[in-house]
Amino acid sequence: MFERLHVMLVKEFLELRRDRWAMVRLIVPLLIQALVFGYAATFTVNHVATVVLDLDRSQASRTLVSHFAANGRFDIVEMAATQQAVTHAIDTGRAVVAIVIHAGFAAKLANGRSAPLAIAVDGTNSNTALIALGYVSLIVARFEAEAMAHGWPVPGETASSGADVPLQERPWFNQGLDDRWFFIPGVIGTLTLIQVVSLTALAVVREREVGTLEQIMVSPIRPFEFILGKTVPFFLIGLGDVVLVTVFGVLWFGIPFVGSPLVMLLGSSLFLLAALGLGLLLSTLARTQQQAFALNFFLVNPFFILSGFAFPIAAMPPVLQWFTLINPLRYFLVVIRAVFLKGVGIDVLWPDLLAMGALGAGMLALSVLRFRKSLD
Amino acid sequence: MWARGLHRRFGAVAAVQGIDLAVRRGEIFGLVGPDGAGKTTIMRMLAGVLRPDAGEIRLEGVDVVADPERAKPLLSYMPQRFGLYEDLTVAENIYFYATLFAVPAPVRRARSAELLAAAGLLAFRRRLAGQLSGGMKQKLGLVCALIHTPLVLLLDEPTTGVDPVSRRDFWGILYGLRERGVTILLSTAYMDEAERCSRLALLHAGAIRHCDTPARLKAAMPGALLAVVTPDARAAHAALAGAPGLLGLLLMGDRVHVRVDDAARRAPELRALLAGQGIGAADIAPVEPAIEDVFVALLGPGSPP
Ligand SMILES: Nc1ncnc2c1ncn2[C@@H]1O[C@H](COP(=O)(O)OP(=O)(O)OP(=O)(O)O)[C@@H](O)[C@H]1O
Ligand SMILES: [Mg+2]
């Protein structure tokens, strides 16, 4: 048995080595995607094109505008003269946010009455709009605080009630709330899942499609020896993926890695087990490489979306939340983020590790059982 | 090796329905039949890679259906489609299969040298299998199939697309195996190859219609065969359709083989018919049927059930 497995591995290694582009195909997309995710996958919005209509032209209104200008989140692209000009700027997409300060802003502020300030955002990009709106309220709050300090009464019934202490959000483990710290560890899991599942599924289906599987199955090799021979190389490639993107994230993006590499290795191994199982399962469902490709596409996307990579699982409807329970990526993201940012160990992560191990074992067992049938 | 009552369907298609066959040691047994007759399906069942819906297969005393793993070391199956790794070299493919069958290294070296020499592949040991010609690929398939000295050899159209010289090499190897008592079952689309088999099974629509030695199959052919040799065989073929007493017509290059109920009576009639149509200079003489004539006579349209 050991000899057959060994010769299977030798064969896989020879084929991989003979495939001149294999290493390029394996590594380059991974690094490019890590780069793209690292730079693009962020919830921070900077340089939002902003149009301002200041109908008050007072010192107070100018101060408010300068707050926006100084912040860096907003680029004031136009000081409009009329309401029409504002509408036009939004309609043509020149600006995403409009700030309209109505006449009497300073006077009302001075009287301690509610001062009118209109903010309009282009809702067609609701993400940017919502995030920008968040900044607007922050800037306005800061302006209020400053206005008080300068002796302008701020809107509100009494002076003291205007000096509300703003709610301070201070995350614990990612103190700069750098989205990248959150995303790059997620990217490791996601890219590894995509690569390992598709490699495994395609490699097995390819052998069936070109007829080498039939030839090899009349030899005394057992299905599980064949499967092991096919999956061990991809397991190693998957581990390589994890190490590569981790090192890249730490060196290039400066993501801290505070946890234990051993816990990471354990988590990655269990995750890869599940990914390999999934790939094999796909290979028993697909007759051709095209079908495998389509199935892979069909499955990996939901796995990605329902993993908690970007969208919080707690916010999903219950049915989808249940689905996430069989999603190995969900558990791996918990493990990998925790290892990266919190540095917690097995004592905390064991439920997630256990879940991945169980999923992996289940899927592998199922695919070995299905493998026999798929030969007919 | 024998099989009894083999059945197998694929969805609505009954690919094999009730096959019985027995092949003795040292026999070269041929399966012939039109495309889709079920040749490949039978071989895959005999090789233990496809489970029959019903039926029994015994190979050197091993129950193939119940225990395919025990049968595998005894047999070799060469699929219709080339199944070796194209991105491995000739030598690597041989090494791979020898190891899967647990052939000891010294035996492997000796046998692969001997087989490669017989196949004329010695010079190509380092070439990638994918870069071999079609005929060389088939011979490499045979070398890999023989590396573990199987007792039973199943070959599915092994020489399709192979040039005549390579086919001769191929048959040279097969005869050598027969001498050593290897049981060989092959399917073929070439009638000259069918003629070389010790016994033939004529297969049609998943059932064996006739099974005998080539000589006895020829003898069993209904009617008698006349060869019509004329300068315009095509026109003669068209003119003869529908002639009285006609059982079959087969265009064979420069001649037409005509199967009739009574050669002595029909030969003059046919000559007259051709002359009447302006196709002269026809030489009509009785001939020994080739296996192709038998094949058409027994499996063609209007053949006896
Ligand atoms: N895997 C399969 N799935 C579905 N149908 C199949 C399968 N294999 C064979 N068949 C069908 O079974 C019948 C017999 O096929 P088989 O391949 O055994 O014929 P064959 O005699 O080998 O033909 P050929 O000379 O073309 O190789 C055909 O109708 C074929 O379509
Ligand atoms: Mg066939």
Helix (H, G, I), strand (E, B) or coil at A214: helix
ipTM of model over 0.85: no
Average pLDDT over residues A211-215: 92
In chain B, residues with a C-beta closer than 8 Å to the C-beta of A15 are 85, 87-88
The verdict on a CB contact (< 8 Å) between B88 and A222 is no
As annotated, the residues of chain B forming the CATH 3.30.70.100 domain(s) are 223-285
**Least confident among A275-279, B55-59, B111-115, B271-275:** B271-275
Helix (H, G, I), strand (E, B) or coil at A88: helix
Per-residue pLDDT tens digits for A3-42: 999 999 999 999 988 888 888 888 888 888 888 877 876 6
CB B239 less than 6 A from any atom of ligand 1: no
Helix (H) or strand (E) holding A76: strand A74-80
Residue A41 confidence (pLDDT):
67
Please give the distance, rounded to the nearest whole angstrom, from the Cα atom of residue B12 to the centre of ligand 1.
Answer: 12
Write down the CATH number for the domain with range A48-149. 3.40.1710.10
- Cα–Cα distance for residue pair B82/B158, rounded to 1 Å: 9
In chain A, residues with a C-beta closer than 8 Å to the C-beta of B85 are 11, 15, 212
- Cα–Cα distance for residue pair A37/A99, rounded to 1 Å: 32
The class that CATH gives domain B223-285 is alpha beta
Share of chain B above pLDDT 70, in %: 97
CA distances from B278 to B232, B242, B282 (A): 11, 17, 10
What DSSP letter does each residue of B10-72 carry, written as one string? ETTEEEEEEEEEE--TT-EEEEE-STTSSHHHHHHHHTTSS--SEEEEEETTEETTT-HHHHG
Please give the distance, rounded to the nearest whole angstrom, from the Cα atom of residue B94 to the centre of ligand 1.
Answer: 29
As annotated, the residues of chain B forming the CATH 3.40.50.300 domain(s) are 2-217
* Chain A: closest CA distance from residue B77 (Å): 7
- Cα–Cα distance for residue pair A320/B234, rounded to 1 Å: 72
Residue A173 confidence (pLDDT):
52
Residue of B nearest to A5 (CA): B100
- Contact B99/A at CB under 8 A: yes
Please provide the average confidence, as pLDDT, over all residues in chain B.
89
The domain B2-217 having CATH identifier 3.40.50.10210: the answer here is no
* Chain A: closest CA distance from residue B157 (Å): 15
Share of chain B above pLDDT 90, in %: 55
CA distances from A111 to A64, A114, A149 (A): 17, 9, 16
Helix (H, G, I), strand (E, B) or coil at B238: helix
CA distances from A289 to A108, B2, B130, B219 (A): 70, 37, 20, 50
The verdict on a CB contact (< 8 Å) between B96 and A211 is no
- Cα–Cα distance for residue pair A363/B40, rounded to 1 Å: 33
* Ligand whose nearest atom lies closest to the CA of B10: 1
Contact predicate A306/A330, CB 8 Å: yes
CA distances from B27 to B62, B181, B184 (A): 19, 8, 6
Where are chain A's structural domains? 2-41+176-370, 48-149
The verdict on a CB contact (< 8 Å) between B79 and A4 is no
The verdict on a CB contact (< 8 Å) between B72 and A219 is yes
